[in-house]
């Protein structure tokens, strides 16, 4: 008998193709000239990271090299690293990373080129070990030093948010929705979420969204096995979300209205965004969370309800250009640039 698909993969499928073609200015044109070894910003991400594409162009204009390792383009890369000196050689040039930023580097996106599964697993394991060592090196300023894929996990986040004074939804981790319906207070709908990531990548470059699902308790009869542990919460009604971008101690607030939880991925044109003030008590709680998780950068999402904000999650690998575009500002971009500029000196030179 074939097992049924896990609950969160049974409906609302949304497949996204993530191109491995780089639009990074420095990857295409070359790094600025400068001393050897050249101070650089090292970013570990994937090719479709448009925030880093923008950062690359800005850094080039100030004469600063951005060295990028994209998980979907790294196979075949000519790279050497001396862990004693901290020097990184890439494509015939030597760099000294001053800042290291782990964003979307994910070995599941790695195209190994090997037909044998054991070879692919080995190549992925080697790249993961390399990235882990790079981000732990003492001679570099690592942004979000305690954040790794899946860390801080959603349950740790909920506990920390509650300890910081934020309201959190009633929550249960379960493989049985009927058990959650009886255990969680109230009679309203349930919201079923991924306990891990919001997507799976069955093949490199092919991402399947794993979105929250709202389920009425009235349809649950004891037969709804989820197929894997899921996060089940009471559904909290709210007209909008409060999204707070945190960059180096600066907090920037946005009010976000979207028709469904998955609209950010499936119908981005339906979302409205505007700048908003952050209540003082919320700002204090957010700063406590950032300190708790050692985050230099991140996005904190809350529901804006009549009885006060309700915490949803902290996202260390956040995209901010969509919120800036909707609100018509560039404050987060400017704050990220200021954070990088404070750690890496500018050098006026020419591109290679």
Using the 8-state DSSP alphabet, how is residue 210 labeled?
A: -
Residue predicted with more confidence, 231 or 112: 231
Q: Is 208 exposed, middle or buried (0-12, 13-18, 19+ CB in 10 A)?
A: middle
Name the nearest CA neighbour of 303 among 210, 212, 235, 246.
235
Paired residues of 232 in beta bridges:
172, 192
In the structure encoding, which two tokens stand for residue 88, read together? 């990184």
Q: Tell me, what DSSP letter sits at residue 116?
A: S
Summarised one tens digit per residue, pLDDT across range 276-288 is: 999 999 999 999 9
pLDDT at 124: 93
Task: Specify the pLDDT at position 350.
Answer: 47
Residue 273: predicted pLDDT: 95
Q: What is the pTM of this model?
A: 0.91
Collapsing DSSP states into helix, strand and coil, what is residue 321? helix
* pLDDT (tens digit per residue) in 146-200: 988 888 999 999 999 999 999 999 999 999 999 999 999 999 999 999 999 888 8
For the segment 127-144, the average pLDDT, to the nearest whole number, is 93
Contacting residues for 111 by C-beta, under 8 A, at least 6 apart: 20, 72, 75, 204, 205
Note whether 212 and 191 are within 8 A (CB).
yes
30 pLDDT above the threshold of 70: yes
Q: What percent of the chain has pLDDT over 70?
A: 96
For the residues 92-112, what does the mean pLDDT come to?
93
Average pLDDT (224-248) is 93
The pLDDT assigned to 8 comes to: 87
**pLDDT tens-digit map of 297-331:** 999 999 999 999 999 999 999 999 999 999 999 99
Mean pLDDT of the chain: 91
Alpha-carbon span 313 to 155, nearest angstrom: 9
CB 43 within 8 A of CB 67: yes
Grade residue 78 by pLDDT with cuts at 50, 70 and 90: very high
Between strands 297-305 and 272-275, the pairing is unpaired
Confidence grade of residue 58 (pLDDT, cut at 50, 70, 90): very high
Distance (Å, rounded) from C-alpha 296 to C-alpha 251? 11
Determine how β-strand 141-143 pairs with β-strand 93-102: parallel
At residue 221 the predicted structure's pLDDT band, cuts being 50, 70 and 90, is: confident
User: Which distant-in-sequence residues (6+ apart) come within 8 Å of 46 by Cβ?
Assistant: 18, 20, 70, 71, 72, 73, 104, 105, 106, 109
Write out the two tokens for 187: 């009679």
Is the per-residue pLDDT at 349 higher than 70?
Answer: no
Name 313's bridge partners: 301
Q: Quick one: average pLDDT of 49-56?
A: 97
* Beta-sheet strands, E only, within the chain: 15-17, 38-45, 65-70, 79-82, 87-90, 93-102, 141-143, 171-176, 190-193, 199-203, 206-209, 213-215, 225-234, 240-247, 250-257, 272-275, 297-305, 308-315
């Amino acid at each position: 008998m074939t097992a049924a698909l896990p609950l969160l993969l049974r409906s609302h499928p949304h497949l996204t193709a993530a191109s491995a073609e780089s639009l990074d200015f420095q990857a295409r044109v070359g790094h600025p000239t400068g001393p050897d070894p050249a101070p650089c910003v090292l970013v570990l991400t994937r090719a479709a990271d448009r925030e880093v594409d923008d950062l690359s162009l800005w850094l080039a204009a100030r004469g600063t090299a951005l060295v990028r390792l994209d998980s979907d383009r790294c196979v075949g890369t000519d790279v050497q690293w001396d862990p004693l000196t901290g020097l990184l050689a890439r494509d015939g040039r030597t760099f000294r990373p001053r800042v290291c930023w782990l964003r979307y580097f994910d070995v599941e996106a790695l195209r190994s080129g090997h037909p044998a599964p054991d070879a692919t697993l080995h190549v992925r394991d080697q790249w993961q070990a390399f990235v882990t060592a790079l981000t732990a090196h003492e001679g570099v300023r690592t942004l979000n030093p305690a954040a790794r894929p899946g860390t801080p996990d959603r349950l740790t986040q909920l506990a920390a948010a509650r300890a910081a004074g934020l309201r959190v939804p009633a929550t249960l981790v379960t493989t049985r929705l009927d058990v959650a319906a009886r255990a969680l207070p109230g009679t309203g709908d349930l919201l079923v979420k991924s306990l891990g990531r919001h997507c799976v990548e069955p093949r490199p470059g092919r991402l399947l969204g794993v979105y929250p699902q709202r389920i009425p308790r009235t349809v649950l009869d004891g037969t709804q096995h989820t197929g894997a542990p899921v996060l089940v919460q009471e559904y909290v009604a709210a007209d909008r979300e409060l999204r707070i971008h945190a960059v180096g101690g600066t907090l920037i607030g946005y009010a976000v209205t979207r028709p469904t939880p998955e609209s950010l991925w499936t119908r981005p044109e339906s979302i409205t965004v505007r700048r908003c003030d952050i209540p003082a008590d919320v700002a204090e709680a957010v700063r406590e969370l950032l300190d708790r998780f050692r985050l230099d950068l991140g996005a904190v999402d809350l529901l804006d309800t009549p009885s006060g904000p309700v915490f949803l999650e902290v996202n260390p690998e956040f995209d901010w250009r969509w919120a800036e575009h909707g609100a018509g500002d560039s404050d987060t971009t400017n704050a990220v640039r200021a954070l990088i500029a404070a750690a890496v000196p500018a050098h006026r030179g020419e591109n290679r």
